[in-house]
Amino acid sequence: MPTVAENQVLALLAKEWGYTGPPGILDISDVVAALPLAPSETLEALKTLYASGLIDMNKLKSSAFLTPEGYDVARDNGETHSKP
């Protein structure tokens, strides 16, 4: 079960997925800036989510996006948003 920080990351990426479509890609710096967490806590959450297969990253590890499994977890937590 994801931690509070991990759920916040999933929710943010799910929101992006809802606005721009799958897979909800955001730069890591944007994720860090958008969340009310310490940067180290956000980066640790990203690392854990990546290791568990709920998010993926580009080759340079500069952006993150949801996997379908990550979207399902965010949806199950009530964290998905559709376009207005």
List, for residues 40-65, the tens digit of each pLDDT value.
999 999 999 999 999 999 999 999 99
* φ/ψ of residue 23, rounded to 5: -100, 10
Residue corresponding to tokens 């994801």: 2
Between CA 29 and CA 76 the distance in angstroms is 26
Spans of all domains in the chain: 4-76
Pick the CATH number of 4-76 from 3.40.630.30, 1.10.10.10, 3.60.21.70, 1.20.272.10: 1.10.10.10
pLDDT band at 67 (very low <50, low <70, confident <90, very high): very high
Q: Are strands 55-57 and 26-27 parallel, antiparallel or unpaired?
A: unpaired
Q: How much is the pTM?
A: 0.88
Tell me, what's the pLDDT at 80? 54
